[in-house]
Amino acid sequence: MSEGPFPAGRAAVVLLSGGLDSYTAAAIARAEGFELHALTVRYGQRHAREISAARAVAAAVGVCRHVELDVDLAAFGGSALTAPLEVPKDRPIDTGDIPVTYVPARNTVFLSLALALAETVAAEAIVIGVNAVDYSGYPDCRPEYLRAFERLAALATKAGVEGAPIAIRAPLLHLSKGEIIRRGLALGLDYGLTHSCYDPRPDGGPCARCDSCRLRARGFAEAGVADPLIAAGATPA
């Protein structure tokens, strides 16, 4: 499992959610020479506004293909993002506590789908924007999880058996949210295209109170720049 740099002239599959992390990870991979195949999953998430954001981000970063796939994890429930459970607001963010917004096995499902696409398009890597510094305590965002999945991918695929295992690339893994934002701004990214809120208002604007909104706000404050969503008038109710 690698945080980069990326070798030039290769294909990669990027998991694209429409959030600022996946946007930044995709842009880093693109800047370092990867031809990108984007994968966005509609999994029954309550914040489905992120799908349109993913489309905008895919266009902005110049992917060669964008696959949108329906896998209805809401059929299982078990998370405030896929079931009628309350999204926590204004809580202390403790990375030792796995919150109710954790979607069971979501990254394992997503990475498995990305692995299938990667084999199909002969990609050498899967790019994922997970972060182990400013995150909400999800177990499938940890370095040891990514290393384990990469080992599984080498064992479970034709590419791996034939000596060309597909790498898991996580260029943001050890960056703070502020560092991620600064990196993206240096690449010219427009974070006004992105969506982060777990529980958006009826008009699609951010609630400014869920974990994701608060981590985003902390990141822009750390980076010393204004969040373009707020500057554009998408202020909380």
Residue 2 belongs to a domain = no
237 lies in a domain?
Answer: no
Q: Among 44, 215, 228, 41, which Cα is nearest to 131's?
A: 215
Print the domain residue range for 197.
10-228
User: What is the rounded CA–CA span in Å between residue 47 and residue 30?
Assistant: 27
| Residue 235 placed within a domain | no
Q: Is residue 236 part of a domain?
A: no
Q: Does 46 fall in a domain?
A: yes
Flag whether pLDDT at 231 surpasses 90. no
Categorize the per-residue pLDDT at 189 as very low, low, confident or very high, splitting at 50, 70 and 90. Answer: very high
Q: What is the pLDDT of residues 47-73, one digit of tens each?
A: 888 999 999 999 999 999 999 999 999
Write the CB contacts of 172 (distance below 8 Å, at least 6 apart in sequence): 3, 21, 24, 25, 28, 129, 130, 131, 180, 183
CATH number at residue 115: 3.40.50.620
Rounded Cα distance between 55 and 193, Å, is: 9
The domain tally of the chain equals: 1
pLDDT, residue 91, reads 87
Alpha-carbon torsion angle 201, 55, 78, 156, nearest 10: -170
Predicted local confidence at residue 56, as pLDDT: 97
Domain membership flag for residue 172: yes
pLDDT at 29: 96
Residue 5 lies in a domain: no
Mean pLDDT of 153-164: 96
- Average pLDDT over the chain reads 91
Q: What is the pTM of this model?
A: 0.92
Ramachandran region, residue 69 (left: φ > 0; alpha: ψ -120 to 50; beta: rest): beta
Q: Is the pLDDT of residue 83 over 90?
A: yes
Least reliable range by pLDDT among 76-80, 95-99, 145-149: 95-99
Predicted local confidence at residue 236, as pLDDT: 38
Asked whether the beta carbons of 215 and 134 are under 8 A apart, the reply is yes
Residue 220 lies in a domain: yes
